[in-house]
Chains A and B, each alone.
Chain A
């Protein structure tokens, strides 16, 4: 199987990830809930992951809150900043994990910057929206559909300039591009543990620049006599038992990334995207590519994109088709009716994957 669906989740993770999870299942009990050895071992595993994440994303370990996925982190962040009727600006490439919580809250949402691969347009529209006055801003660092890398630093700087608290959705960029809570000054940065960070599904991180409103209420192992949730991090955001085996795996994934070097992985991914773009374009396929692009590429095949994905699957190539839970991004790019077929490279991007994909593409897309 040639796996090119890393935008959904990374696969073929480093073996150290599963090994760490198995070790945790054999040795760890509930962290922060007892003083016996398995409980303390679990606490050690959790702190190790918190510290590694803090190092990778430039914040204090206490600012790292474990979540079940990026969506949970985004919901926590959005509910902390946005109230019914709040004016919120978002980019034109947001995922449903951003748009649905905003809709559910009854926020007044404006969309700024819809041109693909145009940081100039994104920034111009972003500033115009901020100037008009908003209560909060939420933006993705990287489009999950098109791989467009938004100008995060500049967008963050504009938010700071206009005094607007903001949330960064780092679902696709964490583990691929540098992300810093300290540098951006974000109120919150949410990310999954199971994509670029190479941890298992069911893990995520919320980096907190501010004190969040809890999404879940319950036991934290601290201040147990109080009816209120603790007013300190990370406990305020971590009600209930943590996914310790998942966190152990996430730590192993991040350690692997740090050892191999994120920038080298991204360079390999980009190279494969360039090759795919060249060949597919020559084949007459509609390809979305641009200068600020990561290791993700979307195309519109001449046949239905789901049928195309099924054809690729029959040939041992795993791709994702459809709207990718991001209808807004498709509206922005004009692909809402057709959807796209997405090729997203991962930490193991290599020429062999590209060659196998293109070989299949010649059969499927030129039918």
Chain B
């Protein structure tokens, strides 16, 4: 199944984002961002269902939580989304 991955520069916005999304009823998991995805090194991301991606990004923006990128991740592909 495809997932959506939202990346953050550090743990604080990622955690706050997790709280906002969970309160909005979106299931998500906080994890380290894979090293190869983060050219500036060391970050955290939220993994959530593909269907929630756009809504999640909008919600984070509305709550003033800055994130870096949104990706669509499948078993054999990764695609940056413009949301």
Encoded as 1 (CB less than 8 Å from any B CB) or 0, chain A from 33 to 67 comes to: 01100001001100100100000000011100000
Compute how far the CA of A131 lies from the CA of B13 in the bound complex, rounded to whole angstroms.
41
Pick from A62, A220, A224: contact of B13, CB below 8 A: A62
Is B10 positioned at the interface, with any CB of A under 8 Å from its CB? yes
Is A232 positioned at the interface, with any CB of B under 8 Å from its CB? yes
Compute how far the CA of A62 lies from the CA of B30 in the bound complex, rounded to whole angstroms.
18
Q: Evaluate contact between B40 and A224: CB separation under 8 angstroms.
A: yes
Min CB distance, A233 to chain B, in Å?
Answer: 8
Is A31 positioned at the interface, with any CB of B under 8 Å from its CB? yes
Name the interface size band of chain A: 20 to 34
Compute how far the CA of A47 lies from the CA of B16 in the bound complex, rounded to whole angstroms.
8
Is B69 positioned at the interface, with any CB of A under 8 Å from its CB? no
The dominant DSSP class at the A interface is: loop
Residues of chain B within 8 A (CB-CB) of A222 are: 9-11, 42-43
Closest to B45 in A: A35
Name the interface size band of chain B: 10 to 19
Is A226 positioned at the interface, with any CB of B under 8 Å from its CB? yes
Q: Which of A194-224 contact B (CB under 8 A)?
A: 220-224
Is B25 positioned at the interface, with any CB of A under 8 Å from its CB? no
Is A32 positioned at the interface, with any CB of B under 8 Å from its CB? yes
Q: Which of A234-271 contact B (CB under 8 A)?
A: 234-235
Pick from A44, A50, A220, A226: contact of B10, CB below 8 A: A220
Q: Evaluate contact between A225 and B40: CB separation under 8 angstroms.
A: yes
Q: Which of A251-303 contact B (CB under 8 A)?
A: none
Min CB distance, A236 to chain B, in Å?
Answer: 10
Encoded as 1 (CB less than 8 Å from any A CB) or 0, chain B from 1 to 29 comes to: 00000000111110110000000000000
Is A185 positioned at the interface, with any CB of B under 8 Å from its CB? no
Compute how far the CA of A77 lies from the CA of B41 in the bound complex, rounded to whole angstroms.
28
Pick from A32, A61, A225, A235: contact of B16, CB below 8 A: A61
Pick from B12, B31, B40: contact of A47, CB below 8 A: B12
Residues of chain A within 8 A (CB-CB) of B66 are: 232
Closest to A47 in B: B15
Query: A224 with B12: in contact, given A35-B32, A40-B30, A232-B66 (CB under 8 Å)?
Result: no
Closest to A62 in B: B12
Q: Evaluate contact between A223 and B15: CB separation under 8 angstroms.
A: no
Is B39 positioned at the interface, with any CB of A under 8 Å from its CB? yes
Between-chain CB contacts (< 8 Å), 9 pairs: A47-B16, A61-B16, A62-B13, A222-B10, A223-B9, A223-B40, A224-B41, A230-B9, A235-B9
